[in-house]
Amino acid sequence: MPYLFTSESVSEGHPDKVADQISDALVDNFLAWDPQSKIACETLVTTGQVVLAGEVKSRTYIDVQQIARDVIAQIGYTKSDYMFEAKSCGVLSAIHEQSADINQGVERAKKEDQGAGDQGMMFGYATNETSNYMPLALDMSHFLLRELSAIRKEGKLMKYLRPDAKSQVTIEYSDDNKPVRIDTIVISTQHDDFASEKAMQDQIRKDVINILIPRVMKSYPEYKRLFNNKIKYHINPTGKFVIGGPHGDTGLTGRKIIVDTYGGKGAHGGGAFSGKDPSKVDRSAAYATRHIAKNLVAAGVCSEVLVQVSYAIGVAKPMGIYINTYGTANVGMSDGEIAKMVESVFDMRPYFIEQRLKLRQPMYSECAAYGHMGRESRVVSKQFRSADGKTKTMKVELFTWEKLDHVAKVKKAFKIK
């Protein structure tokens, strides 16, 4: 029987995402000047205030206040009307040195013996229902908000838009788990005040359907067929949404972990990503399991797969690797046998994950909004300024875990031609 599945996304101006982006900007700036930095930084944002806290071990010093303000300005909180503005908000730092007790479990005489920065389990997922091997409902939810953000920053249409926004997409699937159509789209966007609430709702609904949706369809041609005139639209369903961002809700690092990953498909181990250097397996192993899952599906081992890895703090070798192909395996092997083969192809010790995916680059700010998975791997030029005014320009490879660079190795291991 056909069924419905729903995922949501939030914009870069959502308060939790503001916090994530500040935390990851701190990570990038520490890594830019000292790639061996150990970082665990949390951010809280509320009306007119930013609070930074966490533990750091680094040979560099960065201007955390200015970095936070730069992120806030880049997102678009640049007007006093928002009650949270880049130049005037208070920034309080309570960052201190990392615990030596934790550090001794991570650093080793031999780099390859580096222990996991924490215990826990991490999950990666991939499906062939989209070209980037992501669940469709989440992918479309992200895309809607990226386009809405682009419209806001262009400043030519929908000039009333403010930074905070949320989306939700419900997809109808057939009996054989294939997406058939879009059932419902929900968009809630912060906006300037209108003279009339009805005029506001009518205008935003009209603009979403006549401006945003056509842009998404044009940019997302492979799924144009899923759009139809029967889609149920809920546009700003609560009515007025003038008060938003950190003034409307307090934001905290790590509160959007399902948005960051697979939109409720597969599973999640519970650990957030933003604000952490790659010695924290919450982050690095989640990227590594996505890398495995995507390469398995791309190689034709299966059509859909969930990969789990688990660690003990201070121990390099994982406790185990688990594979679930949901009955879609094409290689005549059980999921347990596939897991053993995966173990032989991908070294999941933390040091080797860092090396394989080049995770000690300042590559994390770009992850902190619109999902860490399903993005395009590319090389960009980034500039960093130290606290004493020095500047550094670096070539940085982003989203390395999205590369299909192990397909040939996987095919060889599984004897796929």
Structure tokens at 228: 């139809």
Are residue 238 and residue 318 in the same domain, yes or no? no
- Answer yes or no: are the C-beta atoms of 164 and 79 closer than 8 Å: no
Are residue 164 and residue 232 in the same domain, yes or no? yes
> Whole-angstrom Cα distance, residue 339 to residue 334?
9
Structure tokens at 322: 């688990």
Are residue 163 and residue 124 in the same domain, yes or no? no
Does the annotation place 286 within a ligand binding site?
no
For strands 179-191 and 232-235, give the pairing: parallel
- Other C-beta atoms closer than 10 Å to the C-beta of 165 total 25
Does the annotation place 98 within a ligand binding site?
yes
Are residue 225 and residue 285 in the same domain, yes or no? no
Are residue 7 and residue 140 in the same domain, yes or no? yes
Using the 3D structure, point to which of 184, 218, 243 is the last residue of a domain. 243
Answer whether residue 84 is part of any domain: no
Supply φ then ψ for residue 211, to 5 degrees.
Answer: -115, -55
Does the annotation place 165 within a ligand binding site?
yes
Are residue 187 and residue 290 in the same domain, yes or no? no
Does the annotation place 34 within a ligand binding site?
no
pLDDT greater than 70 at residue 102 = no
CATH label of the domain that carries residue 378: 3.30.300.10
Structure tokens at 217: 């369809």
- Quote helix, strand, coil % in the chain, to nearest 5: 35, 25, 40
Q: What is the mean pLDDT of the chain?
A: 95
> Whole-angstrom Cα distance, residue 128 to residue 28?
32
pLDDT greater than 90 at residue 59 = yes
Pick from 120, 122, 123, 124: nearest CA to 311: 120
Does the annotation place 5 within a ligand binding site?
no
Residue-wise pLDDT for 204-244, tens only, equals 999 999 999 999 999 989 889 999 999 999 999 988 999 99
Non-local CB neighbours of 364 within 8 Å, separated by 6+ positions: 24, 27, 28, 31, 274
> Whole-angstrom Cα distance, residue 342 to residue 333?
12
Label residues 53-84 b or e (16+ Cβ within 10 Å = b).
bbbbbbeeebbbeebbbbbbeebbbeeeebbb
Label residues 359-377 b or e (16+ Cβ within 10 Å = b).
bbbbbbbbbbbbbbbbbee
pLDDT greater than 80 at residue 114 = yes
Are residue 234 and residue 308 in the same domain, yes or no? no
Answer whether residue 198 is part of any domain: yes
Average pLDDT over residues 28-32: 98
Are residue 287 and residue 330 in the same domain, yes or no? yes
Residue-wise pLDDT for 316-365, tens only, equals 999 999 999 999 999 999 999 999 999 999 999 999 999 999 999 999 99
Residue-wise pLDDT for 343-357, tens only, equals 999 999 999 999 999
Are residue 204 and residue 315 in the same domain, yes or no? no
Task: Supply the range of the domain harboring residue 213.
Answer: 3-11+136-243
Does the annotation place 272 within a ligand binding site?
yes
Does the annotation place 79 within a ligand binding site?
no
Does the annotation place 280 within a ligand binding site?
yes
Strand partners for 168: 8, 186
Does the annotation place 273 within a ligand binding site?
no
Does the annotation place 288 within a ligand binding site?
no
If one counts the domains in the chain, the total is 2
Pick from 401, 210, 415: nearest CA to 307: 401
Answer whether residue 230 is part of any domain: yes
The per-residue pLDDT for 115 is: 78
pLDDT greater than 70 at residue 101 = no
> Whole-angstrom Cα distance, residue 303 to residue 161?
40
The per-residue pLDDT for 301 is: 98
Does the annotation place 240 within a ligand binding site?
yes
Does the annotation place 42 within a ligand binding site?
yes
Answer whether residue 336 is part of any domain: yes
**Helices 281-299 and 335-345, interaxial angle, to 10°?**
110
Structure tokens at 207: 């603009």
- Predicted TM-score of the model (pTM): 0.96
Answer whether residue 211 is part of any domain: yes
Answer whether residue 26 is part of any domain: no
Answer whether residue 267 is part of any domain: no
Residue-wise pLDDT for 133-175, tens only, equals 999 999 999 999 999 999 999 999 999 999 999 999 999 999 9
Does the annotation place 255 within a ligand binding site?
yes
Are residue 324 and residue 233 in the same domain, yes or no? no
Does the annotation place 409 within a ligand binding site?
no
- Other C-beta atoms closer than 10 Å to the C-beta of 276 total 27
Are residue 360 and residue 342 in the same domain, yes or no? yes
> Whole-angstrom Cα distance, residue 256 to residue 20?
9
Supply φ then ψ for residue 337, to 5 degrees.
Answer: -70, -35
Alpha-carbon distances, residue 131 vs 2, 259, 294, 301 (angstroms)? 23, 19, 11, 16
Answer whether residue 332 is part of any domain: yes
Are residue 200 and residue 320 in the same domain, yes or no? no
- Answer yes or no: are the C-beta atoms of 15 and 250 closer than 8 Å: yes
The per-residue pLDDT for 111 is: 73
In terms of phi and psi (left: phi > 0; alpha: psi -120 to 50; beta: otherwise), the region of 155 is left
